Every structure is written in C-alpha cells, then in structure tokens.
Amino acid sequence: MATVAEWLRAGDDLPGDSPRRDSEILLSHVLGKSRTWLYTWPESPVDTAHATVLARLLQQRRDGVPVAYLTGQREFWSLPLQVNKATLIPRPETETLVEWALELVLPAAAAVLDLGTGSGAIALALASERADWEVVAVDASADALAIARANGEQLCPGRVRFVQSDWFSALPGNSWDLIVSNPPYVESDSPYLERGDLRFEPRGALVSGASGLEDITRLAAAAPHHLRPGGWVLLEHGHRQGAAVRGLLQAADLEQVITRCDLAGHERITGARRAD
C-alpha cells in the first residue's frame, strides 16, 4: 500500500509549471486532508479505495484536464468557488478588476451589474466586501448560472440576484452605478485555445469573433445607455487589447478612460466613467 509521500512523488510527471502543487491539491482533495497534514504524516498509507480515485485523477491531469475541474473548486478572492466545464476557471488577474471596483467612490447602496458572471466570481467577491451594494449577475448560459447560484447560496446567501440574460437583454430600463465584466476576448483562430486549461474551458466564454473584440465592442457601445451619471464600467481584456478597448470606450463618449495592469505587468482591465 503506497504512502502519502509516494503518491506525492507519483505526480512529479504532471504537465504544467507546478506538478508537485497539483499533486498536493489532488491528494488533499481525495483524502479530505490539508496540505500541512500531508507533510506531517508522509508515511501514512493510502487505502485502496482512495488510491483508485487518486490514480484516475492523476491520469486525467496528465491528459491535461485542469485541476479545478478535477476537484470542482477554485479559490478566488479567498472564496472557495464551485466550478465545472460550464464555467471558466477564475484567474488571479481578474482580482485586479475587483480591487479597482472596490476603490471607486460609489453610492452606499450602489447598483452593480456583473455581465457574463460564469461561476459568479466577480459578483460574489464584490458582494462579500460591500454588504449594501445591490449586485445583479447575468449569464447567457443556464448551466453556468446554476453554478453561480449555488456559489451564491453557499457564500453570500441573498446578496446577489442571478438572471439569465444575453448581456443587457433581460434587463431593459435598468441603470447601474457600476458595470463589470470579464467577457470573451480570445480570437477565434488563437493558438492559445489549443494549449493548457483553455482546451477544456467553454469556447463560448472564451472566443469573441476573429478579432476577439466582438463582445467588448458591443458592451462598450451599450454601456453609456445603462450607466447612471457618474457610473463606471470596468472590462477585462487580453494583454494586447488595451489600446483597442480604450478607443472603443472613448468612442462611446465615456470619460476618464484608464487601463490597469495585472500582477504580471500586462494591460488587463480598462475602465471608464459616464459624465455626471
């Protein structure tokens, strides 16, 4: 019967930049133990039932399946979010958008809209930090919205309203102090779609036409009609799309158009404000 230490070493051939970390996550998930426990009790035997599950998960990881889909969970803004193949896997760079949103001077009971919420990551992060904000999260995918609702019930019960909608279509006449979105922004012929985790994530949440900008173009043009005076829109985008997104927001007659970089130094979030 193999030990914890032997199972950790068994994952040293996993793909990606952090095979040992992936092994730790999968072993902790299967055993229901913390990473600290794994290294405190490395000689503990792993029984046959757990070993069978672990061997299957390690093979799926070797085949490229993202760890988040294997465990059904990914942490974002310190929130343990459920994820599955209907949702994008939340990424650290999106926390840059959350940080910016929380810095804005908005009404105490600001009306906030998260477009294309996926797992609910952005909406729930904001709701967890601003109890008085009225947060609505929409997604066109019923399957993704089911995951977002489950996350909402678990992490911020009653704090976010979830609506199935193709962008603004199910919310006519509503206006917002803040609109946030991590929309699709990958080019349809991008080679990145065949690499890493992106191979397994929903194409509809990734791809936005040949330019990668079809959805952002639509959102930028619509934003002024849905923002309240003084309201802000914050959009995540590809690291080479900053100039194009600034141009789209300026063309929509929004002001204070600014781009912020993620922790890697890449242009990642562009925001703009509607005039008072």
For residue 172, is pLDDT > 90?
A: no
The type of residue at 107 is P
Per the structure block, which two tokens stand in for 69?
């889909």
Contact 117, 139 (CB under 8 A): yes
- Give the residue ranges of the annotated binding site: 116-120, 139, 167, 182-185
Distance CA 110, CA 146 (A): 25
Distance CA 189, CA 139 (A): 24
Distance CA 79, CA 192 (A): 28
Instruction: Name the CA radius of gyration of the chain, rounded.
Output: 20
Confidence band, pLDDT 50/70/90 cuts, at residue 264: very high
Per the structure block, which two tokens stand in for 105?
């001077």
Domain boundaries, the chain: 4-64, 77-273
Contact 271, 234 (CB under 8 A): yes
User: E-assigned strands of 120-189?
Assistant: 134-139, 160-164, 176-181
Pairing of strands 267-273, 227-236: antiparallel
User: E-assigned strands of 182-265?
Assistant: 227-236, 255-261
- Give the residue ranges of the annotated binding site for substrate: 182-185
Instruction: Tell me the per-residue pLDDT of 39-93, one tens digit each, with 9 for 90 and over.
Output: 999 999 999 999 999 999 999 999 999 999 999 999 999 999 999 999 999 999 9
Instruction: Tell me the per-residue pLDDT of 181-205, one tens digit each, with 9 for 90 and over.
Output: 999 999 999 999 999 999 999 999 9
The type of residue at 14 is L
Starting at the earlier edge strand, list the strands of the sheet with 227-236: 160-164, 134-139, 111-115, 176-181, 227-236, 267-273, 255-261
C-alpha 130 chain-centroid distance: 19
HEC sequence for 6-53: HHHHHCCCCCCCCHHHHHHHHHHHHHCCCHHHHHHCCCCECCHHHHHH
Per the structure block, which two tokens stand in for 152?
């909402």
Rounded to 10 degrees, the C-alpha dihedral 11/13/17/23 comes to 0
Q: 77-273 has which CATH code? A: 3.40.50.150
Give 4-64's CATH code, choosing from 1.20.1600.10, 3.30.420.40, 1.10.8.10, 1.10.260.40: 1.10.8.10
For residue 238, is pLDDT > 90?
A: yes
Short-list 79, 94, 84, 87, CA closest to 155: 79
Instruction: Tell me the per-residue pLDDT of 8-45, one tens digit each, with 9 for 90 and over.
Output: 999 999 998 899 999 999 999 999 999 999 999 999 99
Average pLDDT of 96-120? 98
- Give the residue ranges of the annotated binding site for S-adenosyl-L-methionine: 116-120, 139, 167, 182
Give me the pLDDT at residue 54, please: 96
Question: Could you tell me the pTM of the whole model?
Answer: 0.94
C-alpha 99 chain-centroid distance: 14
* Residue indicated by tokens 């912020």: 260
Distance CA 93, CA 98 (A): 10
Contact 202, 141 (CB under 8 A): yes
